[in-house]
Amino acid sequence: MKVVNNLTHSIDGMGIMKGRKAFTDDFAEKDTLIVKVMRSPYAYAKILKINDSEARKLEGIEMVLTHKDFKRIPFTRAGQGYPEPSPHDKFVLDEYVRYIGDEVLAVVGRSDEICDKALSLIKVEYEVLEPVLDFETAKDNPIVIHPENEIHEMFDIGFEPKRNIAASYAMEIGDVKKTLSECEYVIKETFYTQAQAHVMLEPHTVNARMDYQNRLCIYSATQTPFHVRRIISQGLEIPLSKIRVIKPRVGGGFGGKQAIHGEMLVAYVTYKTNKPAKMIYSRKEVFESSYSRHPMRIEMTLGADKDGKLKAINCEGLSDTGAYGEHALTVFMVTGSKVLPLYNKVDSVRFAGDIVYTNHTPAGAFRGYGAIQGNFALESAVDILCKKMKMDPILFRQINMMKEKETSPIFAIMGEGTAGTAMIMETCKLEECIEKGMELIGWKDKYPRIESKDKIRSVGMAIAMQGSGIPYIDMGSATIKLNDDGFYNLMVGATEIGQGSDTVLTQIAAEELMTTVDKVVIYSSDTDLTPFDVGAYASSTTYISGNAVWKAAKELKEKMIVEAARILKTNIENIDFDGKTFTNRVSGEKITLVDLSNQITYSHEQKQLQVTSSYVGHKSPPPFMAGFVEIEIDKATYEIDILHYVSVVDCGTTINPMLAKGQVDGAIVQGLGMAHFEEVIYGANGKLISSDLLNYKIPTRLDIKKLTTVFVDSYEETGPFGAKSVGEIGIDTPPAALANAVANALGVRITTLPITSEKIFKEMRRINDEK
């Protein structure tokens, strides 16, 4: 392979760094209406009266929008395919506000300042209701967060709003209770994970205008332009054919931009007024009023026999979806489906739980969703079990984990929101990942700890798996067109959001067409111009969209060979093509691609050669990885210094090795953020206090000492040029690896994220007090 798996610079890095017009707000109209939202100061309240007469009189104020302006059409902002596995429980604006930061009303005016002034003049009377702020008391609480009757599920997801249940799920293979009763060793532990924030640096941004065909044209910083178009159409009753959604460059998403945020209000304003409108979330709004990762409580019970064979897993979860149920079920299911198959040799496994409403900021999609929560619980629990059995945790994993050519019955039972798809692990290099990782971190010398006078150094590890798209649901497509002068256009619905998919998809096309990346010009994504793609989520782009591109390139090549055979007066079987020249193998006659393309464009038997292909996965081959962390803990303060993180990844072929490494490095640091740095703080009234970057600390460059990321040789037959996904897998291991390293250092087990010095200190004191 010449292009794939070789050093290729990102195709757009140079232009982006030069500051060329690229991001959503760069395309906002100069003379535009500004849309600003009044946010609820109460965690739960009913709006009784809105006095906006003074605001409406202000010069420059175009409209004040309240719930009375909108027809009551419930929808979900989740940004999923249709029908969505999330409850339709949200109105554009509602008479109830369900968390601090929820939308009360919107003002539309000529400038930010006028909008701010209008907001200050509006008086809202509320009936303040008692909120549900503790997710462990939400289920069957007498306070019902969604009392309205119009809301509904699209199919059975266990939606019971009168009980504050957004969704629920249960499955059991074998008989967990019975298997556990027969086990020599049983451990049970409860874990808690926090509402991590995405902190993509570009805030949620959208702008709209009516174009010269009187269609609504929206630029949006979204991961899912086609879903955005559909949801706007359904929610505002605007014909789908009247809406165009353009996704320009996106400044990071990580799942946060899978959902609809300002799009509904901005689309409504422009459609109603025929004037351009825009909305940019403030950083506070991004924290408080978009969505976060689902906080969870996970009770993990493991049982093993006397030889250290894992026999049973019982995983009971409770997930807090906040005020609205975006991704309630799907995130929770991943906590089972992309975590528990890691240990596939058990006799029994059970996974069950509820996803409940609370009066907190909603939770939604976030890189590694469900998996990072489940991985923290399972991989921590494995080390706890090993300690009880006095067994080496690496050896335990080597005995019990998934191996190549094996499977797990969980794959067939659990999908994302629906039943799953049975599959064999055609590639699973976990054994090699562990071996290599041990070597790179120096496990044998450092495990479990090295103590000096003031410090303790230790290591910890965890293994993980992810998926590659959602089988039979996620669809990607690509159009490739041959131009005169022999270069190509590649149009994809796949959504570049900074992860490098435009570069990777260009490489796939270039490799198949035996050309160079500069001869393939990619464009993503625009609902008018590019073919459908579900968007950037579920680790699907390289595998699903990449397969669509590969297929389209192969088909275009066939079409070009047909033309070459016609021109060279022979059968297609006699044509050789090397990317530049077609040769008649029998006569030796040749025609270059440049000449062929010019001829069919301008002079003889003219036609446009173009192919559109689609791909739907029939399986979701998991990437695997082993993550190892080395830390140093101060004996007096328990300050944790993360010295080194080693990631050894099996993601099949790395289409672009440097960008793949970037995906893993970036995800590891986000995972370390969840593991150690990113504390989510709520006030007693339910107000999110960690709602800016001063109070919510993401890792800075000083916090990251050393990352070693390597890939093992692996070739997934069903992936494009052997690739699996790599976007999410990196985020899964840091919480458990860090918890295990802390346990190896001090003997304390931290079961709530983030793992901070304070928590270690308190736990050490508790242990000492008990002594």
Question: Does 631 participate in binding another protein (rule CB under 8 A)?
Answer: no
Question: Does 280 participate in binding another protein (rule CB under 8 A)?
Answer: yes
Q: Which is nearer to another protein, 320 or 630 (CB)?
A: 630
How many secondary structure helices (H) and strands (E) does the chain include?
Answer: 19, 27
Question: Pattern of binders to another protein over 19-38, x per CB under 8 A?
Answer: xxxxx-xx------------
- Per the CB < 8 A criterion, the answer to whether 649 and 625 are in contact is yes
DSSP for 290-317, please give it: S-BPPPEEEEEEEEE-TTS-EEEEEEEE
Residue from 45, 200, 363, 534 binding another protein (CB under 8 A): 200
Q: Which is nearer to another protein, 168 or 524 (CB)?
A: 524
Distance set, CA 708 to CA 302, 429, 666, 745 (Å) = 31, 18, 12, 22
Residue from 141, 282, 570, 598 binding another protein (CB under 8 A): 282
Binding range to another protein, per CB under 8 A, among 56-64, 372-380, 476-484, 498-506: 498-506
- How many other β-carbons are positioned within 10 Å of the β-carbon of residue 134? 11
C-alpha closest to that of 130 among 40, 44, 41:
44
Residue 172 tokens, joined: 């059991």
Residue from 41, 158, 174, 252 binding another protein (CB under 8 A): 252
Question: Does 258 participate in binding another protein (rule CB under 8 A)?
Answer: no
Q: CB of residue 164 vs another protein: minimum separation in angstroms?
A: 33
C-alpha closest to that of 291 among 613, 751, 680:
680
Q: Which is nearer to another protein, 366 or 638 (CB)?
A: 366
Please list every residue from 110 through 169 that binds another protein, using CB under 8 A: 113
Residue 618 tokens, joined: 């029939």
Binding range to another protein, per CB under 8 A, among 172-180, 249-257, 483-491, 572-580: 249-257
Residue 737 tokens, joined: 């690896």
Q: Which is nearer to another protein, 135 or 281 (CB)?
A: 281
Q: 3-state DSSP: the chain helix, strand, coil percent, rounded to 5?
A: 30, 25, 45
Q: Which is nearer to another protein, 91 or 537 (CB)?
A: 537
Q: Which is nearer to another protein, 543 or 645 (CB)?
A: 645
Question: Pattern of binders to another protein over 202-221, x per CB under 8 A?
Answer: xx------------------
Residue from 33, 55, 250, 423 binding another protein (CB under 8 A): 250
How many residues form the binding site for another protein (CB under 8 A)?
58
Residue from 171, 465, 629, 659 binding another protein (CB under 8 A): 659
Residue from 1, 48, 170, 201 binding another protein (CB under 8 A): 201
C-alpha closest to that of 332 among 101, 542, 166, 501:
166
DSSP for 266-288, please give it: HHHHHHHHSS-EEEE--HHHHHH
Question: Does 506 participate in binding another protein (rule CB under 8 A)?
Answer: no
DSSP for 705-729, please give it: --EEEEE-----TTSGGGB---SSG
Question: Does 441 participate in binding another protein (rule CB under 8 A)?
Answer: no
Burial (0-12, 13-18, 19+ Cβ within 10 Å), 656: buried
Question: Pattern of binders to another protein over 660-679, x per CB under 8 A?
Answer: -xx--xxxxxx---------
Burial string for 88-108 (b: 16+ CB within 10 Å, else e) reads bbbbbbbbbbbbbbbbbbbbb
Instruction: Report which secondary-structure segment, H or E, holds 48.
Output: strand 45-51
Q: Which is nearer to another protein, 319 or 647 (CB)?
A: 647
Which residues, 6 or more positions from 765, have their beta carbon under 8 angstroms from its beta carbon? none
Residue 560 tokens, joined: 């070009």
Please list every residue from 692 through 711 that binds another protein, using CB under 8 A: 692-694, 698, 700-702, 704, 706-707
Question: Does 658 participate in binding another protein (rule CB under 8 A)?
Answer: yes
Residue from 64, 157, 195, 199 binding another protein (CB under 8 A): 199
For residue 90, how many C-alpha atoms fall within 13 Å in the half-sphere facing its CB? 29
Q: Which is nearer to another protein, 5 or 168 (CB)?
A: 5
Residue 697 tokens, joined: 């600390």
Interacting residue ranges for another protein, rule: CB under 8 A: 7, 9-10, 12-14, 16-23, 25-26, 113, 198-203, 249-252, 254, 280, 282-284, 497-500, 656-659, 661-662, 665-670, 692-694, 698, 700-702, 704, 706-707
